[in-house]
Structure 1
Amino acid sequence: MASALESAFTWKLYQNIAKSPGNILLSPHSVCSALMLACLGARGDTAAQIAATLGLPGTDPAAWHRQFSDMCEQLKGTESDSGVLIAIANKLFARLDIKVINNYSSEATKLYSSGTEPMDFASKPDESRIAINQWVEEQTSEKIKDLLQAGTINGATAMVLANAIYFKGKWDKPFDVSETKSMDFYTTATNKVKADMMRKKFDLRYISDDSLGLSAVEIPYQNQTMSMVIIRPNDVDGLSFIEGTLQSDALHDLISRLLREMKMKVDLGLPKFTFTKASDLSRVLPQMGITDLFDPEKVNLSAMTSSGNHAISNVIHKSFIEVNEEGTEAAAATAMISRMMMMPTGEATFICDRPFLFFIVKPETNSVLFVGRFSSP
């Protein structure tokens, strides 16, 4: 199975979200996980559309789920043995009168460690919402709060498919706090603000591509099991052009080239930043090709429940990131809610003093946990 980076899904999803201004953050892996849980219970065109949008290869659904499950297991780690902590959790919250098919429950547990919890959506909608939010907070070390806003759950809610992911990684070579200085950050060619810029000169993988108008650097976390990849435009106002014109295969090739480069001395400047981003994917995913899942007359989740068709009405995604001298902490959660329906050499300077893209990736598999845009402190 192609990783989230190797498929077109990650970049297409990002490009749709990036149409809005400001800082952007999402976890393609979290969104993929929620969709894979839905795909496990989908049949017919509903399953085919999810598979096509995610770029799942071949025509064997069992192989899709085995391979995605294996990829999830490869991502997980603990701070004690790798310097990186990755926790992934899935759960299906179903209304009391919804009959979840036993085979779906057992497969979801086996493949995705996903339990099923009955909820009294009909008479206790807000209590149910709070309980789901508490589960998300627990799974994300309290970084994702209030995923579901008041009114999101009501008496018509049938199911909530939820995924949560938490990442904490220490830099392989931490920044010295004493070297962090206030510097100009250019939000546009004519506007600048101050940012706390971390600074360090050390050996990193680096490439510059004038044809694409950008340069890129890889910053490894401890034991180099995970990395942050940063793509910086050559021009201060160049990021929007890159976002609009760079194709997913070119992005994949660029990062693959970067991860194969020999290391060189790089004078790196990276701003400290912390932000949270919430996104409604309910319109984005149909635009990407997943339409039947949201259509009560066409949805087919017959392998998940025998209580009738329950089209998805909301897909809510929320993510958090903090980057500092020690490393990175990031978290994300996705909830799908259904309603009752019937190379260079020498040295390089790489100062991130303008809007840039960042990816948290597993170099071994090119899997992307998080992708974002930092455009303003």
Structure 2
Amino acid sequence: MVCSPLSIQVVLSMIAAGAWGRATTSTGCSLSKSKSIYELNSLVSNVVPWVFADGSQKGGPRLSFANGVWIDESCSIKPSFQQVVDNDYKATLEQMYFKTNPDEVRCQVNAWGKKETNGLIEEVLPPGSVCSGTRLILANALYFKGAWDLDFDESNTRKYKFHLPNGNSVEAPFMTMPAGRISS
């Protein structure tokens, strides 16, 4: 799992945009030192496309960045929020019946994640993570595929312990490179 600080900023900014007029709006603006929600949304709409520009057409890495918002049908969506999500965040926004079909919502979010990461992430939300009490899901997917500057020799793969969040560890293959090959 990779955490992108900009991805986290974008999700928090969407929360701030949705909380318009509430105390959390000032929290969202203070995270980026923005003076207003308009400035925060403008920052995202201008910075994200530049930072996450797909360079694959020019021989660079392939990069895609996607956001998604799923809201329960019992909640109303203000047209201004819909507009900000569409125009500034370029996010998927869907209303679904969380209360009666929580697993269907979970499957749809997972299908979105799989599509946005070219099949690399098959499960964003595990079984049981969406329940009838869930009202909102915010998701962000980042896909990167690039070529190495130096070719990797597969014979340099070594098995080491990989530590899991639950404290257990498993053996996993790690890429290694002799120190003399690192500098080009």
- Could you tell me whether the CA contact under 8 Å between 1:129 and 1:148 is conserved in 2? yes
Q: Does 1:115 align with 2:88?
A: no
Residue-by-residue CA offset, 1:218-270 (whole Å, 9 max, x unaligned): xxxxxxxxxxxxxxxxxxxxxxxxxxxxxxxxxxxxxxxxxxxxxxxxx42xx
What's the offset of the Cα at 1:129?
0.8
What's the offset of the Cα at 1:135?
0.7
Q: Which residue pairs with 1:49 in the alignment?
A: 27
Instruction: Name the CA shift for 1:182/1:99 in 2 (closer, same or farther; >3 Å).
Output: closer
In structure 2, the residue corresponding to 1:157 is in which secondary structure?
A: coil
Q: Does 1:85 align with 2:62?
A: yes
Runs of 4+ in 1 over 4 A off after TM superposition: 182-187, 193-196
Instruction: Name the CA shift for 1:125/1:67 in 2 (closer, same or farther; >3 Å).
Output: same
Residue-by-residue CA offset, 1:46-71 (whole Å, 9 max, x unaligned): 1122333x3x1241321221122211
- Could you tell me whether the CA contact under 8 Å between 1:175 and 1:198 is conserved in 2? no
Distance 2:11 2:161 in 1: 37
What pairs with 1:16-95 in structure 2 (closer than 5 Å)? 25-42=2-19, 43-52=21-30, 54=31, 56-74=32-50, 75-95=52-72
Residue-by-residue CA offset, 1:303-353 (whole Å, 9 max, x unaligned): xxxxxxxxxxxxxxxxxxxxxxxxxxxxxxxxxxxxxxxxxxxxx8xxxxx
Distance 2:96 2:159 in 1: 51
- Could you tell me whether the CA contact under 8 Å between 2:117 and 2:142 is conserved in 1? yes
Higher strand share: 1
CA RMSD in angstroms comes to 2.9
Q: Does 1:165 align with 2:142?
A: yes
Distance 2:158 2:116 in 1: 36
Structure with the bigger RCO (C-alpha within 8 Å, sep 6+) is 1
Paired residue type of 1:30 = S
Q: Give unpaired runs (5+ residues) of structure 1.
A: 1-23, 188-192, 202-266, 269-347, 349-377
Match of 2:81 among 95, 104, 112: 104
Instruction: State TM-score, norm by structure 2.
Output: 0.80
Instruction: State TM-score, norm by structure 1.
Output: 0.41
Instruction: Name the CA shift for 1:199/1:83 in 2 (closer, same or farther; >3 Å).
Output: farther
Q: Which residue pairs with 1:198 in the alignment?
A: 177
Q: Which residue pairs with 1:307 in the alignment?
A: none
Paired residue type of 2:121 = I
Match of 2:156 among 164, 170, 181: 181
- Could you tell me whether the CA contact under 8 Å between 1:175 and 1:200 is conserved in 2? no
Distance 1:150 1:183 in 2: 33
In structure 1, the residue corresponding to 2:86 is in which secondary structure?
A: helix
What's the offset of the Cα at 1:199?
4.1
Determine what percentage of the aligned residue pairs are the same residue: 22
Paired residue type of 2:176 = M
Distance 1:40 1:58 in 2: 12
Instruction: Name the CA shift for 1:177/1:157 in 2 (closer, same or farther; >3 Å).
Output: same
Q: Give unpaired runs (5+ residues) of structure 2.
A: 163-170
- Could you tell me whether the CA contact under 8 Å between 1:86 and 1:167 is conserved in 2? yes
What pairs with 1:169-248 in structure 2 (closer than 5 Å)? 169-171=146-148, 173-177=149-153, 180-181=155-156, 196-199=175-178, 201=180
In structure 1, the residue corresponding to 2:106 is in which secondary structure?
A: helix
What pairs with 1:233-312 in structure 2 (closer than 5 Å)? 267-268=181-182
- Could you tell me whether the CA contact under 8 Å between 1:105 and 1:115 is conserved in 2? no
The alignment covers a number of residue pairs equal to 173
Higher helix share: 2
